[in-house]
Amino acid sequence: MIKVRLQLAGQGLRDSSGPKPTALSVTRSLLASGKVLDLYTGLSAGLLRQAVYTTARLGFFDTFMARLANRGTIGFKERAAAGLSAGGLAASMFCSCACFFPGLIFCLALLSSLHA
């Protein structure tokens, strides 16, 4: 929450020459106004997103590794491709739109290299 408040406070100071807010000044103002719980605002959404992403990434990795195990021995190249593909696919599904298309393209390129 401190980061968001710093960004918002900086928006209003673009044209003024006043003192720029720091993390310490924003924290002091939150504590002085009695809004201690505002320090944790948004934490639950971040934790939920991270839990869903991590679970999906591990699930994809296990699935990719099981498919590769059927083909024979698994070397570093195959393990790395499975890990990068799992991370890219999970990020494209559960992270922001900025990750979606580059992550999807990267994931498809890695998966196609496994079939080559």
In this predicted model, what pLDDT tens digit does every residue of 4-38 receive, in sequence order? 666 666 665 555 666 677 777 777 777 787 777 76
Share of the chain above pLDDT 90, in %: 17
Share of the chain above pLDDT 70, in %: 64
Q: How far apart are CA 103 and CA 84, in angstroms?
A: 10
Lowest mean pLDDT of 7-11, 77-81, 109-113, name the range.
7-11
What pTM does this model have? Answer: 0.55
Question: Mean pLDDT, to the nearest integer, of 80-104?
Answer: 76
* Phi, psi for residue 41 in degrees, rounded to 5: -65, 130
Domain residue extents for the chain: 2-40, 44-114
Residue 76, exposed/middle/buried by CB under 10 A (0-12, 13-18, 19+)?
exposed
pLDDT value of position 94: 74
